[in-house]
């Protein structure tokens, strides 16, 4: 049951991983979280990664988000080999190329929406005036133009997640990585957030959704199932007639 509404044409490959593994040593035993995953993600895809807990989807998400490096295998992001990068280079990739959206929003509680959204730009070294303008634009884009000076505790759950999405968008990243973005929201608000992500997809963003809920995953155009550290299935919605695409 894949979403076949307006599928946008795929762009060039953004993420190219080949046979990556990850194992952790926990005391006496070694946990093999990923046992050899190969995956290619193109620009302007809307992909969901699904799997039960323990399937390795969190590990894969950390890997895709450049928070972690694989034990073996190759990971290229926009043609650059990530698996050989040091921590600082990974931080730069995260800053420039990846927008994170977390289940628990992960906003800085004492900072206003504007300051929260500005944060990636601060680390990118962008000047204050430009920064403020871009952050405000980003907040307006998610419908929070009137909440710039509110702190997270003055916002509803849905609004907080919108701030987080604005923060993810502000650096014009190559991918938006959303980890259970609706997990802490009621279903109505959850739908609103999914609608927002759909919009972003339609505007040309690449979205990777990590979830264990089929209801959420069905918004994506491609679903990758993981089980026991391996890709179990990888289904892409059929391209509808090319004609429809021409005028979208």
Partner 1 sequence: MQFREIISMALQSLGANKLRSGLTMVGITIGVFSVISVMTAIGALQTSIESGISFLGSNIFQFAKYPVSGGQGGRNAQKYENRRNITYAQALRYQQLMEGIARDVCLKCFDFKGQCTYNGLKTPPALTVAGSNKSFLAANSYSLGYGRNLTDEDVDLARSVIMIGKTIEKNLFPHESPIGRVIKINGHPMTVIGVLAEKGSAFGQSQDDICVIPITRFFENFGSAKRTVNIATQSFSAETYNRTLDKGIGAMRLARSLKPNQPDDFEIYSNDSLKSAFASVADVVRIGAFVISLIALIAAGIGIMNIMLVSVTERTKEIGIRKSIGAKSRDILRQFLTEAVFISEAGGIVGIILGVLGGDLLAAWLQADLIFPYGWALAGLVVCSAIGIGFGFYPAYRAAALDPIEALRFE
Instruction: State the residues that interact with partner 1 by CB under 8 A.
Output: 62, 65, 67-68, 87-88, 91-92, 94-96, 100, 102, 106-108, 110-111, 119-120, 122-125, 128, 167, 171
**Which residues are 30's β-sheet partners?**
25
CA–CA dist 232, 226 (Å, integer): 5
- Supply 229's token pair: 């550290």
Other Cβ atoms within 10 Å of 72 Cβ, number: 12
Nearer to partner 1 among residue 95 and residue 206 (C-beta)? 95
Comparison of 84 and 122: residue with beta carbon closer to partner 1: 122
Smallest separation, CB 20 to partner 1 (Å): 16
Strand partners, 207: 46, 176
Cβ at position 217, least distance to partner 1 in Å: 22
- Among residues 68 and 137, whose Cβ is nearest to partner 1? 68
| Least distance CB 88 / partner 1 (angstroms) | 5
Compute the distance between CA of residue 170 and CA of residue 246 in angstroms, rounded to an integer.
29
**Distance of closest approach, residue 193 Cβ to partner 1, in angstroms:** 19
Angle between helix axes 113-123 and 157-169 (nearest 10 degrees) is 20
97 neighbors 169 (Cβ within 8 angstroms): no
- Nearer to partner 1 by Cβ, of 172 and 233: the residue is 172
C-alpha distances in Å from residue 42, one per residue of 32, 63, 114 = 27, 17, 31
Q: What single DSSP character describes residue 8? A: P
Please say which residue, 62 or 83, places its beta carbon nearer to partner 1: 62
Q: Considering the complex, what minimum distance in angstroms separates the CB of residue 122 from partner 1?
A: 5
């Amino acid at each position: 049951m894949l979403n076949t509404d307006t599928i946008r044409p795929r762009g060039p490959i953004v993420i190219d991983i080949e046979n990556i593994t990850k194992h952790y040593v926990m005391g006496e035993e070694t946990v093999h979280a990923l046992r050899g995953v190969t995956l290619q993600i193109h620009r302007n895809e809307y992909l969901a990664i699904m799997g039960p807990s323990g399937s390795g989807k969190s590990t894969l998400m950390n890997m895709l988000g450049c928070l972690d490096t694989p034990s073996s295998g190759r990971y290229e992001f926009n043609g650059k080999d990530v698996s050989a990068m040091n921590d600082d280079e990974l931080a730069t990739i995260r800053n420039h190329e990846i927008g994170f959206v977390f289940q628990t929003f992960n906003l800085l509680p004492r900072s206003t929406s504007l300051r929260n959204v500005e944060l990636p730009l601060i680390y990118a070294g962008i000047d204050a005036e430009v920064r403020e303008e871009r952050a405000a634009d980003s907040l307006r884009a998610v419908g929070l133009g009137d909440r710039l000076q509110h702190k997270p505790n003055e916002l509803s759950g849905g609004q907080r997640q919108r701030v987080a999405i604005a923060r993810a968008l502000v650096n014009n990243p190559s991918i938006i990585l959303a980890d259970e973005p609706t997990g802490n929201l009621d279903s109505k608000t959850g739908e609103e957030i999914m609608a927002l992500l759909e919009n972003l997809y339609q505007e040309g963003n690449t979205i990777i959704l990590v979830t264990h809920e089929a209801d959420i995953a069905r918004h994506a155009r491609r679903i990758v199932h993981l089980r026991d550290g391996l890709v179990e299935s990888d289904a892409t919605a059929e391209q509808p007639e090319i004609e429809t695409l021409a005028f979208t």
